[in-house]
Amino acid sequence: MSGSPPSGGGFVRRVGLFQATAINMSQMCGIGPFVTIPLMVAAFGGPQAVIGFVAGAILALADGLVWAELGAAMPGSGGSYVYLRQAFQYRTGRLVPFLFVWTAMLFIPLIMSTGVVGFVQYLGYLAPHLGRTSGDLIGLGVIALVVLLLWRGIENIARITAVMWAVMVTSVLLVIVAAATHFSAHLAFTYPAHAFDLGGDHFWLGFAAGLTIGIYDYLGYNTTAYMAAEVKEPGRVLPRSIIYSILGIMAIYLLLQIGTLGVIDWHRMTHADDIASTSVASAVLEKTWGRAAADTVTVLILITAFASVFTGLLGGSRVPYDAARDRVFFRPYAALHPRHRFPTLGLATMGVITAIGFLIGRHTDLATLIQLLTTVMVIVQALAQIVAVTVLRRRQPGLRRPYRMWLYPLPSAVAFAGWCVIYGYADENSPGRHPIEWSLAWLALGCVAFLLWARFEKVWPFGPKEISEEYLQGADPDVEPAGSPG
């Protein structure tokens, strides 16, 4: 990930629409749906929980259009910190992109820690007498194994991740097919009294919690924006890959959610001592195809959980490295392992934070962990990036925009409102955990870190602003150079 457009000797644009869509979908559909269906049901108090996945898809689509315009206009690699640097450099120098990397150092490993929590939950199906301490040690061991594998350098990363993605797709499809063979419409569509009472606070509190869980399940629709320097015809491919992946994952999630509710009584998912509350996919397979099939799919889900942590830390550890290399973060994060050429400090830091997040999730609950990670990313990434679209339209009107947001500014307004709902209800949905206060404290600490860094680097506010508008010039990446093959 470089914050600048790739030079002639840089990245090669060879990722087409199909590959880009598959990359997004593979990042979106990991362990998430296997562990969040019971959380969604508990939030809504019944099978009307499907509303949460639909609402999450609408928010993801509206926010995805923000990513689509920004990514198509600035198709280098680096994603958010490139867009935020371009938009906010005129008034605050490098403050906003620095804060994005600062918060990414927290919310990326917290996302990975949910995968480890899910791993231990499903392992509990195979080992029902697994104690809390044993589960904690196993989870920490999984994190250590992932870091060790990545520390030694991994060859053939693409092949390994492709195999893991195939396992994930297989496990999802098996649960959907199993549910379809024993589907009961009565179970799936019988709602409790006042399920849709829009005048009550209970519905909207559940909706906010469900929206948070829903958007967590869709995270990853922006993956190709981070690798835009390797995407062919990014002005056309990037927006389509984002939209197609969201619609495709929405269809998969709805089939999975409705199918599960048509096999397992939703009341079981709300009881902490029932296996359906922690390993609902295993419960579906056990009821439909028997214990042996359930054990097999559980193993596949364990591989999926491991894969999600592996690929997440692989990519996440590069974020502070790329930012430091572009002088947007602390210099030590730009160091690479002398032999295996991976960012050592970024990987080590995120490994430690993943372990801390895992223990938080284990000793509170998974819903609290999801609430914490989404709250942390709202202000600096989600809301700031929505504002960036408008700022750049005003500050850089000549910027090449091969894709302009449909119905602008309506998608921006919908996305902004959705993220504000998630943030505004965070404390109520996590009573006693104070996710809003923690997110503000982390942001304030980031501002202090920025001032220390800026003073050392002698940049604004301790030096001149460095205005860079490199995306206003340069060749059109959607046009094949003369004489190029294909």
Q: Which of 290, 363, 314, 285 is nearest to 122 (CA)?
A: 285
Q: CB–CB of 50/257 below 8 Å?
A: yes
Residue 453 lies in a domain: yes
| Tokens of residue 253, six digits | 């999630």
Q: Among all chains, which residue has been given the structure tokens 């991976």? A: 342
Residue 362 lies in a domain: yes
* Alpha-carbon gap, residue 224 to 22, rounded angstroms: 10
Query: How distant, in Å, are the alpha carbons of 57, 161, 162 from that of 304?
Result: 22, 10, 12
pTM here is 0.90
Which DSSP letter does residue 486 get? -
Residue 262 lies in a domain: yes
> What is the tally of structural domains in the chain?
1
| Residues pairing with 77 in the sheet | 227
Residue 486 lies in a domain: no
Q: What is the CATH number of the domain that holds 354?
A: 1.20.1740.10
Residue 345 lies in a domain: yes
CB pairs under 8 A, 24+ apart, for 134-143?
Answer: 135/362, 136/359, 136/362, 139/358, 139/362, 140/355, 140/358, 140/359, 142/116, 142/306, 142/309, 143/116, 143/309, 143/351, 143/354, 143/355, 143/358
Query: Cα 298 to chain center, whole Å?
Result: 23
* Alpha-carbon gap, residue 152 to 120, rounded angstroms: 25
Residue 291 lies in a domain: yes
Residue 217 lies in a domain: yes
pLDDT (tens, 9 = 90+) of the chain, 486 residues, equals 333 344 433 557 778 888 888 888 877 887 888 999 999 999 999 999 999 999 999 999 999 999 999 999 998 767 888 899 999 999 999 999 999 999 999 999 999 999 999 999 999 999 998 999 999 999 999 999 999 988 876 555 656 666 777 888 889 999 999 999 999 999 999 999 888 888 878 889 999 999 999 999 999 898 888 878 788 889 999 999 999 999 999 999 999 999 999 999 999 999 988 999 999 999 999 999 999 999 999 999 998 888 888 878 887 888 888 888 888 999 999 988 888 778 899 999 999 999 999 999 999 989 899 999 999 999 999 999 999 999 999 999 999 999 999 999 999 999 999 999 999 999 999 988 899 999 999 999 999 999 999 999 999 999 988 888 888 876 666 665 544 444
Residue 3 lies in a domain: no
Q: Which domain holds residue 60?
A: 17-462
